[in-house]
Amino acid sequence: MLSYALRRIAVVLITLLAASAIVFAVLEIVPGDPARLMLGMNAGEDAIAALREQMGLNQPLLIRYFSWLGGLLSGDFGRSYTYSVPVIDLVRERLVVSLPLALMALFLSTAIAIPVGIFSASRRGTASDAGVMAATQLGIAIPNFWFALLLVYVFAVTLRLVPAGGFPGWQAGFWPALASLLLPAIALALPQAAILSRVTRSALLDVMGEDYIRTARAKGLPANIVLWRHALRNALIPVLTILGLQFSFLLAGTIIIENVFYLPGLGRLVFQAITQRDLIVVESVVVLLVATVIIVNFLVDLAYAWADPRLRRR
């Protein structure tokens, strides 16, 4: 067990190190000089050189890489070139938007998808199953930014129930902040729910074809108990895998939705940092996200073990 844990940690560290090296190298190759971008078209070469010096861009590549890496290890993520504040502060400010948004969207999508998937599987081949399948197909096909615009038009512009976008900050109060995240969470959740309900349905149907289900039925258990006690739990593994992937996506892959609702989230921070060549922010946030994905995967693994006791012994 211990050697397993150590192996696991070693793999995590190597993955992180590789990610840091790759993102650093890629950003070195991408054309664009942060100092020139900051000072614009009328700036003289001497001013640009002075700013490069100030930003520490004139140091050799390897020295910059290792000093950044050393900082990461001691918890110092460096200072943003453009904002000139510590990167960790920027990330923290964005996380208070992105994390609740991701959790809300995940909660909504799970709350919709699991019941819908079960319903659909238990009525396999009926008209209601076909109806649900058509609806989920539509949910996958509709681009979420278009759906977001539709939500804005109906609930913000016409009905004026919620703001059209922006985030007032949690200091503005719990409900105003939550209200501003509601439409984006719905827009994010619906396509995810569509995918998740299809996965739930097909996983359930797979399990329902297994021998032990037939055995359970044969010994006279009611269909309900068979479904809930025997089938569902075994069908959870693929559902958990998808959930883990979706959470990682929701945390950082929401740039478009964040743009539609002009939310100050993590996705927009990375996007802005890339266009402004705020390399240190991009590098640090990417490494953080890699770490998050690894941790989420680890938690999903733990959840497998919870769902399937046979996996605990491995």
Contacting residues toward other proteins, per CB under 8 A: 30-34, 36-44, 46-47, 50-51, 53-54, 82-85, 90, 93-94, 149, 152-153, 156-157, 160, 163-167, 169, 259-265, 268-269, 272, 275-277
Work out the number of other CB atoms within 10 angstroms of the CB of residue 270. 20
CB of 13 to other proteins, least distance (A): 31
- Smallest CA-to-CA distance from 299 within 248, 250, 244 is with 244
Q: Provide the minimum distance between the beta carbon of 258 and other proteins in the complex, in angstroms, as a whole number.
A: 9
Nearer to other proteins, 108 or 269 (CB): 269
The CB-of-309 to other proteins minimum distance in angstroms stands at: 45
Residue closer to other proteins by CB (options 44, 309) is 44
CA proximity to 289, closest of 101, 106, 95? 95
- Give the whole-angstrom CA distance, residue 57 versus residue 92: 25
Residue 86 DSSP symbol: B
Least distance from C-beta 45 to other proteins, angstroms?
Answer: 8
Provide, rounded to whole angstroms, the least separation between the CB of residue 229 and other proteins: 47
Token readout for 131 is: 């109806």
Supply the minimum distance, in Å, between the C-beta of residue 266 and other proteins: 10
* Cα dist from 296 to 6, 29, 299, whole Å: 18, 30, 5
**Long-range CB pairs of 38-41, under 8 A, 24+ apart, other chains included:** 38/81, 38/82, 38/276
Reading phi first (left if > 0) and then psi (alpha if -120 to 50, else beta), residue 166 is in left
By C-beta, is 83 or 119 nearer to other proteins? 83
Nearer to other proteins, 30 or 134 (CB): 30
Contact (CB, 8 A) for 136 and 197: yes
Which is closer to other proteins, CB of 34 or CB of 117? 34
The residue (of 34 and 191) whose beta carbon lies closer to other proteins is 34
* Shortest Cβ 251–other proteins spacing (Å): 16
Q: Which is nearer to other proteins, 194 or 269 (CB)?
A: 269
CB under 8 A, 24+ apart: contacts of 130-138 = 132/197, 132/201, 133/198, 133/201, 135/194, 136/194, 136/195, 136/197, 136/198, 137/194, 138/194
Nearer to other proteins by C-beta: 149 or 291? 149
Min dist CB 7 to other proteins, Å, is: 39
What are the backbone angles phi and psi of residue 82, rounded to the nearest 5°?
Answer: -80, -50
Q: How far apart are CA 299 and CA 278, in angstroms?
A: 32
